[in-house]
């Protein structure tokens, strides 16, 4: 029974970290793993934060101290950064720019990961992935694939 409890605690922490990671990415604080770009979507960030808040409310009284502390800390950090990003957006409504991008004019939200070295086949596969990602982004924005 104790092993099962440890597994559940690890799964809970993993869930919180997953939501926290998504929120950081949507706040424009970390790179999107698929596009390799800094992207900002404050509505999506708010949704992830709200989900963590709901999780805290629904699990009240059922968490270990370490779980409760971790969850509360994650919510607090994200809320502070969310408010900061909202203020930045109102002060300078440059669409999609994070605070870090505004401070460093050389840094844009179009930051790309360094290409990985590999075989020609690996590079072709990466090129196909990038093309699929671009098509998905165009579809989401309602842009015609042919132009």
DSSP string covering 7-65, please? HHHHHHHHHHHHHHHHHHHHTTSSB-TTT-SB---HHHHHHHHHHHHHHHHHTTTSS-H
Residue-level pLDDT at 2: 84
pLDDT by residue for the chain (147 residues), tens only, comes to 689 989 999 999 999 999 999 999 999 999 998 999 999 999 999 999 999 999 999 999 999 999 999 999 999 999 999 999 999 888 876 554 555 555 544 444 433 333 334 444 444 555 555 555 555 555 544 544 444
Residues 8 and 56 in one domain: yes
Residue-level pLDDT at 146: 46
Q: How far is CA 85 from CA 18, 35, 95, 120, 124, in A?
A: 20, 21, 12, 41, 37
Residues 97 and 121 in one domain: no
Quote the domain boundaries for residue 145. 117-147
Residues 140 and 94 in one domain: no
Residues 123 and 106 in one domain: no
Count how many residues are written for the chain.
Answer: 147
Residues 55 and 89 in one domain: yes
Tell me the pTM: 0.62
Residue-level pLDDT at 135: 54
Residues 9 and 26 in one domain: yes
- CA 68 to CA 8: how far, in whole Å? 14
Residues 103 and 131 in one domain: no
Which two structure tokens, joined as six digits, stand for 91?
A: 């002060």
Residues 43 and 11 in one domain: yes
Residues 90 and 121 in one domain: no
Counting the structural domains of the chain, the total is 2
Residues 33 and 98 in one domain: yes
């Amino acid at each position: 029974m104790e092993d099962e409890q440890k597994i559940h605690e690890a799964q809970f922490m993993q869930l919180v970290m997953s939501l926290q990671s998504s929120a950081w990415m949507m706040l424009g604080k970390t790179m999107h793993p698929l596009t390799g770009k800094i992207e900002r979507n404050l509505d999506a960030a708010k949704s992830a934060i709200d989900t963590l808040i709901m999780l805290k409310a629904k699990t009240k009284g059922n968490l270990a101290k370490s779980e409760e502390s971790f969850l509360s800390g994650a919510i607090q950090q994200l809320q502070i950064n969310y408010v900061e990003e909202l203020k930045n957006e109102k002060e300078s409504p440059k669409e999609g720019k994070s605070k870090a991008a505004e401070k460093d004019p050389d840094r844009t939200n179009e930051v790309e990961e360094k290409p990985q070295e590999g075989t020609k086949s690996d590079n072709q596969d990466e090129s196909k992935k990038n093309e699929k990602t671009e098509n998905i982004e165009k579809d989401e924005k309602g842009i015609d694939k042919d132009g």
